[in-house]
Structures are given as structure tokens and as C-alpha cells.
């Protein structure tokens, strides 16, 4: 790749990444906020609502960065609407505990993904992703709540473990879709854009390795929650 | 009323008022956020999500004030759950435009109500309500959107006017329920708590006058939107 082709690919990839993050945060906001309606107590409702409001703050940060880059945020989000909506369509929680487990997996998996992605970004875009990362971790109450529910009724752990696997499986499926449809983004996330001699085949292999790392971290977290991943 | 009885009533009334506002903001957040899913465009979705996130910020301010006053926020909200939930149950928007009209009415009516209430509060609680008021008015885009939709298809104005009346009617119904169930709050909102010689009968009459003012302001706004109230 020539330097200018690399620059052009990098710009496409960063717009893609920020567009994906923006739409992911916006829909996370929407789903969490509507899941707050499943809360059996006012306290639980307020806490899930607080997580949702934090996601909206993240959306706003990324939205502003896209505007700064001279990109129309809705245009940047559009390519990811189908995959992200499909993820949520296929992972509709059927109750309060399922919504908490989904919120926890979504939050932690997203944080891992942001950490991986930040590594390959220019300083200004990285600062935005890191600001979002610093504001994450509103889900501590989720861990306590789910753990207490499992201790109280160990039978539910099998169902919740299955639910966790479904969410992770669906996330991987949609990630693969996105990677094949947005090659510049996949290349960015594997570091290939900083290595001009890399080819697409290697990119997808490296992308697969990143997914493996995310899956392993997810598995460790599920285990610590008392669920087999 | 003796001064100490007045003080005790005032404390009950302020806790009630803040509890009502907190639960109102929390549910407004939840409903708006879930209505964001009705948006036909990403832009509309982001704007309604922004209104919802603002409501959560208001909830947090009032929640913190309740904690400052040594009151458990969920206990303060509990007496208003039934009335506020009933309001939302009876005013479920059937589409995007209905949800926008509801958001606009909710926002403006609430602001009017906060202005009336702030008048009778001690300086610290008034500062909280005024901070919330200053952060309101995120709904400008709603007015433009609804007005454009009516200009584009004047036939819908009859249906939306009916919808606006239903929302206002339901708000008044629930306000009356609350006033009869929470006499200290009703007395506060009529200024009776600062006038020890006032009796309950007069309170309800003055409370009725406040509702009349709110209804008139609502009517003027609906008219300016192109809807007959």
C-alpha cells in the first residue's frame, strides 16, 4: 500500500470504528433503558437506568468526535445498523436476571473491545475511546445481584449460563459479519494498517485471534459469576 | 397549626414533592428511551435518547437532594408509583408522532409544574428544582418535527389533538388522585403551608386553580403547535 492509500484506509477504518461504537452505545442505551422496566424494585430500576444514561454519555462523546472529523454521525452509524439490531433482536432478555446478565456481558465485552481498538488509533480518537472506558464499570451492582440470585436458587445457573453463551455466540456472529463487510475496519483492529505489507488473509486470521482473546476473557468472567461459559 | 406542626407538614410535603418529581423523571426517562425505538431515523432516535438522558440527569439531582435530607429516595417515590404508572399505562403512544407529542406535553407541563412548586420551597430544595428547570427545553426539535408533519399531512392534526387531550386529561386525573391522597403536598402546592390559618377545603380549591393555570398554558401551547386543545 502507498502511504496515501494507507491514510485513506485508516480514515475509513476510524470512521467505521467510531460509527460502530456510536451505534452500539445508542442501542445499548435504548435496550437497557427499556429493560429498566423489568426491574422488580425501584432501586434496581434506578441502577439500570443509570447504566443506560452512562451509555448515552458515551454515545455523545463518540458522536462529537465524528462531527469533529467532519463526518455525519448518522452516515457513519448506518453500515452497522443491521448487525447491531440483529444482535439485539436475537438476544431479547425474557426477564430481569437475563437483562442483568446481558448488561454485564455487554459492558465488559465492550470494554475489552475498546481496549483492543484504542491500541491502533491516533491520539485524538484514542483519547475519546479512553474517556469512554474510564466511565465504564457502572455494572458492579449487576455482579452482586446475579451472584446473590444464583446462591439463592442454584438451579437458575444452568439457564443463565446458556443465556450467556447465546449472547456471546450472537456477538461473535455479528462481529464476523461486520469484519467481512468492512475490511478496512478489520484491518485496523488487527494492526494491519500500520504494517503496509500485510494482506487481507492475514488480517482475518489476526481478527480471529482478537475474538479468541475476547472470548477467553468473557469465559473467565462468566466463571467468576458462577456460570460456565 | 402550631409552628412545629407546620414544620413537620412542610417536611412531609417536600419529601413528597421530591419523591413525585424523582419518580416522574425516572419513568419519563424509561418511557422516552423506549420510545426512541419508534424513531424512523437515526437522528430522531439520537434526539429522543438525548431527551431521555436529560431526564435521568434530573432524576439524579432530585435523588441526591432526598439523600441529603436523610430520606431513602425509594421510600419517597413509592407513594407515587401507582399514579405515575397509571398515567403512562393510559397514554401509551401508538407511533413516533404520538410519542413526540407526549414528550413535548410532558416536558412543558412538567416545567410549568416545577415553576409553580419552586415558589413554595426552601432555598436549597428550590435550587435543585431550578437546576432541573434550567436543563429542560431539550424538546425544540419535537415542535419543529410535529409542525412539519402536520403541514405535510393536515389530516393528522385531528388525531394528534385528541391524543394531546387524552394526555392532559390523564395527567389531571392522576394529579387529583395524588392531591387527595397526599394532603400535605397539596397544601404545599397551594401555598397553604405558609399560611397557618388555611384549611383543607381552601387548599383543594387553590389546587384546582393551579391545575387551571397549567391547563390554560397547555392549551396555548397546543394551539401554537397547530392542534386544538
Contact between B46 and A36 using a beta-carbon 8 Å cutoff: no
pLDDT, residue A202, reads 59
CA nearest B53 in A: which residue?
Answer: A53
Task: At B29, list the grid cell.
Answer: 426517562
**Long-range contacts of B153-161, Cβ-Cβ distance < 8 Å, separation of 24 or more:** B156/B97, B157/B226, B157/B227, B160/B97, B160/B98, B160/B101, B160/B227, B161/B222, B161/B227, B161/B228, B161/B229
Nearest to B46 among A26, A45, A78 (CB): A26
**pLDDT, position B225:** 80
Task: Please give the Cα distance from B206 to B193 (Å, whole number).
Answer: 12
In the structure grid, which three cell numbers stand for residue B151, read together? 403541514
Burial of A131-157, coded b for 16+ CB within 10 Å and e otherwise, reads: ebbeebebbebbbebbeebbeeeeebb
pLDDT, one tens digit per residue, over A15-32 is: 999 999 999 999 999 999
pLDDT tens digits for range A79-115: 999 999 999 999 999 999 999 999 999 989 999 999 8
Residue A194 per-residue DSSP state: G
| Closest Cβ opposite residue B34 in set A26, A33, A50 | A33
Please determine, for residue A135, whether its predicted confidence score (pLDDT) is greater than 50.
yes
Q: Give the residue from A39, A44, A53 with the most B CB atoms within 10 Å of its CB, the best one to mutate.
A: A53
Contact B50 A56 (CB under 8 A): yes
Q: How far is B187 from chain A (nearest CA, A)?
A: 27
CB A66, CB A22: distance < 8 Å = yes
Least confident of A60-74, A211-225, B1-15, B20-34: B1-15
Q: How far is B61 from chain A (nearest CA, A)?
A: 12
Residue B87: what pLDDT?
Answer: 96
| Residue A220 or A61, more confident | A61
Chain B residue with minimal CA distance to A57?
B53
User: Among candidates B217, B88, B83, B101, which has minimal Cα distance to B163?
Assistant: B101
* A194/A181: higher pLDDT: A181
Q: What is the pLDDT of residue A197?
A: 39
Contact B187, B198 (CB under 8 A): yes
**Which band of pLDDT confidence, cut at 50, 70 and 90, is reported for residue A72?**
very high
Mutation choice for A interface testing from B56, B73, B82 by most A CBs within 10 A:
B56
Are A56 and B52 inside 8 Å of each other by CB? yes
The CA distance from A146 to the nearest CA of chain B, in Å, is 21
Number of A:B CB contacts under 8 A? 81
Q: Cα torsion for B217, B220, B226, B229, to the nearest 10°?
A: 70
Say whether A52 and B41 touch across the interface (CB within 8 A): no
Buried-exposed string A51-62: b where 16+ CB fall within 10 A, e elsewhere: bbbbbbbbbbbb
Q: Which of the four pLDDT bands, split at 50, 70 and 90, describes residue A119?
A: confident
Residues of B in contact with A29 (CB under 8 A): 33, 36, 49, 52-53
Q: ipTM higher than 0.85?
A: no
DSSP single-letter state for residue B95: S
Are B166 and B182 a contacting pair, CB within 8 Å? no
Of B42, B52, B81, the CB nearest to A77: B42
Verdict on whether the full-model pTM lies above 0.90: no
Q: Mean pLDDT per segment of 10 residues, for chain B of length 229 residues?
A: 69 94 94 90 91 92 95 96 95 94 91 89 91 82 88 91 92 90 87 52 70 88 79
Q: What gap in Å lies between CA B119 and CA B99, rounded to an integer?
A: 30
Amino acid at each position: 500500500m502507498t502511504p496515501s492509500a494507507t491514510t485513506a484506509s485508516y480514515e475509513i477504518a476510524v470512521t467505521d470504528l467510531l460509527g460502530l461504537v456510536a451505534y452500539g452505545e445508542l442501542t445499548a442505551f435504548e435496550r437497557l433503558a427499556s429493560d429498566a422496566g423489568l426491574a422488580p424494585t425501584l432501586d434496581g430500576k434506578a441502577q439500570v437506568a443509570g447504566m443506560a444514561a452512562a451509555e448515552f454519555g458515551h454515545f455523545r462523546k463518540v458522536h462529537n468526535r465524528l462531527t469533529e472529523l467532519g463526518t455525519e454521525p448518522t452516515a457513519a452509524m448506518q453500515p452497522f445498523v443491521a448487525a447491531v439490531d440483529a444482535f439485539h433482536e436475537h438476544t431479547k432478555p425474557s426477564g430481569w436476571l437475563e437483562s442483568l446478565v446481558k448488561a454485564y456481558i455487554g459492558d465488559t465485552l465492550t470494554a475489552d473491545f475498546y481496549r483492543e481498538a484504542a491500541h491502533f488509533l491516533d491520539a485524538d480518537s484514542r483519547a475519546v475511546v479512553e474517556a469512554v472506558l474510564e466511565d465504564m464499570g457502572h455494572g458492579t451492582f449487576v455482579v452482586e445481584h446475579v451472584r446473590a440470585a444464583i446462591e439463592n436458587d442454584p438451579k437458575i445457573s444452568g439457564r443463565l449460563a446458556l443465556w450467556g453463551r447465546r449472547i456471546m455466540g450472537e456477538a461473535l456472529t455479528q462481529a464476523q459479519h461486520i469484519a467481512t463487510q468492512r475490511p478496512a475496519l478489520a484491518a485496523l483492529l488487527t494492526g494491519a494498517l500500520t504494517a503496509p505489507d500485510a494482506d487481507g488473509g492475514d488480517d482475518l486470521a489476526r481478527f480471529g485471534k482478537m475474538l479468541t482473546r475476547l472470548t477467553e476473557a468473557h469465559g473467565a468472567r462468566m466463571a467468576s459469576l458462577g456460570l460456565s461459559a
